[in-house]
Amino acid sequence: MAHVSVPMYWRTIPQRYRLVGQKCKKCGAVNFPPKGVCKYCSASSEFDEVQLSGRGKIHTFVLISAGGAPPEFAEQEKAGGQYPVAIVQLDEGPKVIGQVADADPKEVKIDMPVTAELRKIYTEEGVIRYGFKFVPATSGK
């Protein structure tokens, strides 16, 4: 079981629940998830918070079968079969990884538009960890 402590998970709630990103004050690029130093200009540690829309396109994806599933997701895979995980190119610029939900694995494609929504990610220490997953953009927000 990957151990992500309760405080460690809690610290990322603005990103996980609402996709809050950081806009570099110097170069204007959006960093998501956050970094100490802007990834794009490497010249600034000052950011403005920016609310990302959660919309993007699939840049690449994998279909995880039982052999490729970490223990936290083993039951999910057994109950529901193969699940897609994608790196999504968000409209605002950054790319981020996330599971794809509510989609037939056979219909997931590179360049498919998706949007983020709140889902249950996993449970550890009896605490439910919620976060974003991506759903096909056509299925409504």
Enumerate the β-bridge partners of residue 62.
85
Q: Is 21 in the site for other proteins (CB under 8 A)?
A: no
Q: How many CB atoms lie within 10 A of CB 32?
A: 20
Q: Which residues contact 92 (CB under 8 A, 6 or more apart)?
A: 21, 30, 32, 50, 52, 53
| CA 52/CA 30 separation, integer angstroms | 9
Among 98, 112, 114, 136, binds other proteins (CB under 8 A): 98
Identify the residue whose tokens are 């690449």: 60
Q: Does 82 bind other proteins (CB under 8 A)?
A: yes
CB of 20 to other proteins, least distance (A): 10
Sign of CA dihedral 65, 90, 121, 118: negative
Task: Tell me whether residue 18 or residue 26 sits nearer to other proteins (CB atom).
Answer: 18
**Binding of other proteins by 115 (CB under 8 A):** no
Q: In the window 53-72, what residues touch other proteins (CB under 8 A)?
A: 59-65, 67-72
Residues 27-56 as x/- pattern, contact with other proteins by CB under 8 A? ------x-x---x-----------x-----
Using CB under 8 A as the binding rule, whether residue 95 contacts other proteins is answered as yes
Calpha distance 116→100 (Å, rounded): 9
Distances (CA, A) of 78 to 64, 70, 81: 11, 12, 6
Q: Which among 21-29, 42-50, 82-90 is the span making contact with other proteins, rule CB under 8 A?
A: 82-90
AA letter at 46: E
Which amino acid appears at position 74 of this protein?
A: A
Binding site residues, other proteins, CB under 8 A: 1-2, 4, 8, 12-13, 17-18, 33, 35, 39, 51, 59-65, 67-73, 75-76, 78-80, 82-83, 85-87, 94-99, 101-102, 110, 117-122, 128-131, 133, 139-141
